[in-house]
Structure formats: C-alpha cells, structure tokens
Amino acid sequence: MRAARLGDDEAYRRLLILVSAWLRAVARRGLAAAGRPREDCEDIVQETLLAMHLKRDTWDGTQPLEPWLRAIARHKLVDHLRRRGFADHVDIDDHVDTLAAPAAGEEGAGADARQMLAGLPERQRRIVEGISIEGRSAREVGARLGMSEGAVRVALHRALKALADTYRRGRS
C-alpha cells in the first residue's frame, strides 16, 4: 500500500490480488457462519475491494494496514448479511437453500457483474469493460472512444463509485 501510494501500479495490483484471496476466505467463513449460500462470496469480495479502493485515503500510513483492512471487511460483510435479512441467527431454511443450490465458484460472479455493469451509463460501461475485461490501458480506451486519457480516468472513477453505490443499495 505504501508503494502504491508512491505511484507503483504493480505493487497495488499485487496487494489487491493478495487482499482478494484473503477476503475470499473471510467472506466464505462469514457466509458459512451465517448459513448463507456461498455464491454471494465473490460479490462480497468485490464490494469490499471497491470500498477499500475508494476509501484508501482513510488508512493512516503510520498504522499497520491489517486492522484497517479487517475493519472494512467486517463492515462490508455485516452490511451484506443485514441487507439479505440476516438477523443474528442461523435460519434452517437457509441451510436448505445451501444444500439445494449448485456449488457456484467464481464463475457465478460473471453474470452478476455484467448485470451491474449494464446499469452504468453507456460510456462508463464501455470504459470499465475496456479496461477490466479487455485489459486495455486508459489511453487506448480513450483513443477508441475519442476521449482524452484524463477524461477516461475521471469517468472510470465515477463508474467505480456508481458500482459501489449499486452494491451498497443491494440490487437483489
């Protein structure tokens, strides 16, 4: 994170990948404890990653990173469970759901997220798709859409905020 603050993109990517693996374990445990189906797991991971990214200025650089990360993860997990109507007890019906539901891994997240991207304005959606799914740089996407690199970055930031809002309001 420190390196990322100094402008090291690769360090930031490594950190996010590392954190998402850790988050996946945390989310799985949380969902299991609450008796929720595991297919929500990748949703929670992505929502938490988005929050961590958008709120990264709230990390105090003089403090260790882990407590901060854990606080954000807990906040998002609780938020998610509350939204799904989990009221601090494990419901039998939820277990039935789990057993009946097909074991979905990360693949399940694909369809979900495409739905979420579809909720974005056309231009923002194409920018996010270009950068994340097609793996282009901001400059390439800008050239294709006839926008400056700076404008692409601004639009990307707005799109990420909008995605975080959609998660927060709970789309289901």
Partner 1 sequence: MKTEQLVSALVADRAGSAAPVGRSLVRAVAAGAVVSLAIFAVWFGPRIDLMPALATWRFDLKLVLVFVALAAAFGACMASARPVASGRWHRVAQLAALLAAALLAVELATQPSQAWGTRLVGTNALVCLTVIPLLSLAPLAVLLMALRRTAPASPTLAGAAAGALAATTAAAIYAFHCFDDSPLFVLTWYPLAAILPIAVGALAGRRLLRW
Q: Which residues bind partner 1 (CB under 8 A)?
A: 4-5, 7, 9, 12-13, 16-17, 20, 42, 45-46, 49-51, 53-60, 63, 67-68, 71-72, 75, 106, 109-110, 113-114, 116-117, 128, 131-133, 135, 137-138, 153-154, 156-157, 160, 168
What is the C-alpha to C-alpha distance for residues 138 and 24, in angstroms, rounded to an integer? 28
Output the smallest distance, CB 116 to partner 1, in A: 8
Q: Which is nearer to partner 1, 35 or 80 (CB)?
A: 80
Q: Which is nearer to partner 1, 54 or 91 (CB)?
A: 54
Q: Which is nearer to partner 1, 32 or 109 (CB)?
A: 109
What is the C-alpha to C-alpha distance for residues 148 and 94, in angstroms, rounded to an integer? 49
* Phi, psi angles (nearest 5°) of residue 145: -95, 0
CB-based contact 159:127 (threshold 8 Å): yes
What is the C-alpha to C-alpha distance for residues 45 and 105, in angstroms, rounded to an integer? 12
What is the C-alpha to C-alpha distance for residues 140 and 131, in angstroms, rounded to an integer? 9
Report which residue type is found at 98: T
Output the smallest distance, CB 163 to partner 1, in A: 9
Output the smallest distance, CB 113 to partner 1, in A: 3
